[in-house]
A and B are shown apart, each in its own frame.
Chain A
Amino acid sequence: MKKYFSLFIAILISALLLNPSNQWYIFIPVVILIFFVNRRAFYIFLKWKFNLLLLSLLLGVPLLLGEKDTRFLGISYSSEYFQMSLLMFNRSILILLGIKMFTNKISIQEIASGLQKIHLYHFSILFSTALRALPEIRVIAQNTFSEFRRTPRHTNVFSHLYNWLVKLMVRIVYFADQYYLDQLKQQKQE
């Protein structure tokens, strides 16, 4: 985990250091490195909405903003804004690929145990507890929501929603209380 965390920090730093003069010397090697470390990080480019956002940043901004001082294939655009967009494009790709590489390479359980090593011991225990409780919480929320949908409404929609939320919160509080008591029981048995 330490190796991937260090790599992630290095990618973030390289993204922050990007400027118009050095961007290609940093961007290309870092992207190649990420490719060899974790190809799955590049799956983010399979989402068309994400690609559309990046393309609109790269191509849309110079076409719409700034002084149109350059032409390409008969289309006028702003060279200043194109340079700016290209830098933002490269920076965002490095940061997002870095995050994706990091979350692909380490598991959430490794994060929980890793937090202990950096002296966030109490938080790591809380986080582990949260992970253990999450499936049950999901079941409680789903069941309460199913009841909410099935139960005929005798009051206005806000009162109905309020009653449902009270039910959900009571069940969560009850579950938390029971979880604590079960834990105490287990401690006593040990």
Chain B
Amino acid sequence: MEKNRKVISSAEYVSDRSSLSRDSVFIAIFGALWGLVEITLGVVIKGTRLPMGGAFLAVLCSIIFLNGRFFVRRRGSILMMGGIAATLKIFSVGTVIAGPFIAILIESLIAEALVSFLGVHRFSYVITANALSVYTILHPFISQGIIFGENIYKIYLETFQKITQLLQLDFSYLIWIILIYVFLHLILGTASGWFAYSLALRVKKEFPINFN
């Protein structure tokens, strides 16, 4: 953590203060908060090897940037927040940071596309959180494909076949296990998307801001 603090600090090399709009300030601050959660909680969750840990982290971060997006009614803002968080993450302490870096960028892209297309309301927040939650299942295959190459998929396929043979499971049972796993992610995504919108409404009520 000490190394973290040493690297990530405002310094004389950063560009001079230029006049930023309120939207831009909010994007920067919510992006920094997202990055902070990724650096701190992300490391803890990875270390504890929590089941569905990636999904928990993704939905927690989605609550942050979806709240930010509620206050910044500008397309591209989630992508900017993701860029900030990903850049902060890649300079954090840790050996394997390439995977999380790619994950943050792809998640911000998915979220940006969905919210821009669907608009800012509870339904879009639920859909976005669900999409990100399910993406965490696919992400290891994508990032490992980049790091290890396409041969990793051949290894995964053969491993699944070995497991089904060992446990004497019909392949259809494996499909059911995967579907149940996806369903659990959808429950988590729905709850967090619903929660994110409720939280944003409550925050707005506590601190009304006029962005006109």
Q: Which residues of A contact B9 (CB under 8 A)?
A: 131, 134-135
Spot the interface stretch: A24-32, A122-130, A146-154. A122-130
Q: Are A131 and B206 in contact, CB atoms less than 8 angstroms apart?
A: no
Docked pose: A22 CA to B208 CA in angstroms: 63
Docked pose: A81 CA to B147 CA in angstroms: 17
- A7 CB–B CB distance under 8 Å: no
Docked pose: A122 CA to B162 CA in angstroms: 52
- B25 CB–A CB distance under 8 Å: yes
The B-contacting residues of A in range 5-61, CB under 8 angstroms, are 18, 44, 47, 50, 57, 61
Q: How large is the interface on A (under 10, 10 to 19, 20 to 34, 35 or more residues)?
A: 35 or more
- A88 CB–B CB distance under 8 Å: yes
Q: Known contacts A99-B98, A107-B7: does B28 contact A133 (CB below 8 Å)?
A: yes
The A-contacting residues of B in range 67-122, CB under 8 angstroms, are 67, 71, 80, 83-84, 87-88, 90-91, 95-98
Docked pose: A92 CA to B96 CA in angstroms: 11
Number of A-B contacts (CB under 8 A): 171
Q: Are A126 and B95 in contact, CB atoms less than 8 angstroms apart?
A: no
Q: Are A124 and B87 in contact, CB atoms less than 8 angstroms apart?
A: no
Docked pose: A96 CA to B143 CA in angstroms: 12
Q: Known contacts A65-B162, A170-B206: does B147 contact A96 (CB below 8 Å)?
A: yes
Docked pose: A91 CA to B149 CA in angstroms: 8
The B-contacting residues of A in range 62-118, CB under 8 angstroms, are 64-66, 81, 84, 87-88, 91-92, 95-96, 99-100, 103, 107-113, 116
Q: Mark A159-185, 1 if CB is under 8 A from B, else 0.
A: 000100110011011111101100110
Q: Known contacts A50-B95, A88-B152, A134-B32: does B162 contact A123 (CB below 8 Å)?
A: no
Q: Are B25 and A65 in contact, CB atoms less than 8 angstroms apart?
A: no
Docked pose: A109 CA to B11 CA in angstroms: 7
Interface size on B, residues (CB 8 A): 59
Docked pose: A66 CA to B71 CA in angstroms: 54
Q: Which residues of A contact B27 (CB under 8 A)?
A: 126
Min CB–CB distance A152 → chain B (angstroms):
22
Q: Are A125 and B8 in contact, CB atoms less than 8 angstroms apart?
A: no
Min CB–CB distance A173 → chain B (angstroms):
5
Q: Which residues of A contact B12 (CB under 8 A)?
A: 109
Sample of 29 A–B contacts (CB below 8 Å): A65-B159, A81-B155, A84-B155, A87-B149, A100-B95, A107-B11, A111-B91, A113-B13, A125-B24, A126-B28, A127-B87, A128-B15, A129-B24, A130-B84, A130-B88, A131-B32, A132-B14, A137-B29, A141-B33, A162-B199, A165-B63, A166-B202, A170-B206, A176-B22, A177-B207, A180-B25, A183-B20, A183-B25, A184-B19
